[in-house]
Amino acid sequence: MYDRRDFLKKTLLTGTGVVGAGLFMQSCNCKGVLSSKEMLPRGSVVLFQGDSITDGNRSRDDDWNHVLGHGYAQMIAARLWFDYPEMDYSFFNRGISGNTIEDLNNRWVEDAIALKPTILSILIGINDVYGIVKGYLKQTLYEFEQQYRQLIILTKKELSQTTIVLCEPFILPGGRVDEKSDIWQKETRARAGVISNLAKEFNLIFLPLQKSFSDACNAAPAKHWIWDGIHPMPGGHELIAREWLKVVSNNLR
């Protein structure tokens, strides 16, 4: 039977693979798709927070076909649940489409603190940029930083043992981003810088994603990874999932 994974491995070993293919051939083993290093502590309770990219059209009920959405959060949970069933992991998705950093602050106690996660992953900022591009959000970079800082301080106060992961917002050319692309790039980079600095200041895990998406365009056009400049295609969600597992597991070892 034709095995695509074996084909890709052989292609890379013979040097005939497409440029950038190595980005998507991270450690695999015969048990599943993860290496023994890409795992979390036993009993981890993982909460994914953010906007539509995290939301993934999730259901708001107990239907496990849809409750984690159809994006990177579900992909991460599926891998870890499959490869490490004995580790007693729990996963929650509380991303809400359209949310900004202010929206997260307004619902943080109920949708984050109350769930008592041991690992909290946050991907936010692109709707803040969208509002600025469209002109309906009058938010300064300082205000964005202060709102994000407030969220972190509250979390560290109430959940002092929780590992916090700050994910970098990202864009690629295409769709909505092609309109006023200079503003998109400037504002996205600025907020990514704020998030990176906050991660350093509070000693949190920072997950860089912009470079990974930009590098992926060496293997396929931007629209292969992000269909409208903002929202990932399935391959884009796979990219986030692999980078998340690599970075987070490495920082927790």
Residues noted as catalytic: 52, 228, 231
CB 98 within 8 A of CB 53: no
d(CA 45, CA 98): 25
Burial class for 137, CB neighbours closer than 10 Å (0-12, 13-18, 19+): middle
Report the relative pairing of strands 90-93 and 119-123 from DSSP bridges.
unpaired
Alpha helices in 101-164 (DSSP H): 101-111, 126-134, 141-158
CB 213 within 8 A of CB 161: no
d(CA 28, CA 212): 19
Of residues 94, 86, 195, 85, the one with CA closest to residue 149:
195
Of residues 162, 171, 151, 164, the one with CA closest to residue 214:
171
Number of neighbouring beta carbons within 10 Å of residue 32 = 14
Of residues 247, 241, 251, the one with CA closest to residue 91:
241
How many residues can be counted in the chain?
253
Residue appearing with tokens 């949970």: 77
